[in-house]
Amino acid sequence: MDLWLAPHDARIRSLRNPRERESLFLGWHESPFGRCAGLSDGTHLLALRFGKEEEVSEELCGEWPGIALTESPQATSMVAAVFDHPLQVPVMATGTPFQLTVWEYLRRSGNASTMTYGEVARAIGRPNAARAVGQAVGANPLAVAVPCHRVVSKGKLTGYRWGLDRKKALLAWELSRRDPLEMPF
């Protein structure tokens, strides 16, 4: 089960408190799109990032100060599973109510279709919030698990936190895995 939590939620405060939680679990997987790290509490995926081990580890340590990040085969399995069955890996996302609304919508739109920032804004009932959708997409802590790479500008691909080439590769890979009878043309 996915959890969509505000930063002040007691579960998040407990996870971030070194007196209550000594460590979180870190897993690494060589995905088709490069080295990928996942952070887990043992039940949910909390973060999924692309990048070099040292940089990603430093970034995650900064986001979870005082909490030890312990490498774990279970966390590695969760990261690998995201690329085969993303909706079967439970996530725990923390953000503003607006960010959570955007991320949950993207997570539930599992048909691997691209959509514009404006389309997402309209779908969540905020038709004038396309820029805010873009900011929420850029802040997504769960690459691939929350498919922010599917959000594009009208008529073109634009930025992606982990690089435009990776965004193109993710979209092509997802398209290649779709059932031809479900293609959007």
pLDDT digits (tens, 9 = 90+) for 50-101: 999 999 999 999 999 999 999 999 999 999 999 988 899 999 999 999 999 9
Domains 3-88 and 96-170 alike in fold: no
Task: Name the active-site residue from 24, 47, 132, 148.
Answer: 148
Q: What is the pLDDT of residue 82?
A: 95
Other C-beta atoms closer than 10 Å to the C-beta of 2 total: 18
Distance, CA of 84 to CA of 81 (rounded, Å)? 5
**Which token pair is 85?**
């069955």
Q: Answer whether CATH 1.10.150.20 is correct for domain 96-170.
A: no
Q: What is the dihedral of CA 53, 56, 60, 62, to 10 degrees?
A: 110
Q: Say if residues 104 and 142 touch (Cβ distance below 8 Å).
A: no
pTM equals 0.90
What mean pLDDT is reported for the chain?
Answer: 91
| pLDDT(183) > 90 | no
Has 61 been annotated as catalytic? no
User: 3-88 is classed in which CATH architecture?
Assistant: 2-Layer Sandwich (3.30)
Distance, CA of 145 to CA of 163 (rounded, Å)? 17
- 99: CB partners within 8 A, 6+ apart: 93, 136, 139
Query: Domain coordinates of the chain in residue numbers?
Result: 3-88, 96-170
The residue-averaged pLDDT of 39-57 equals 95
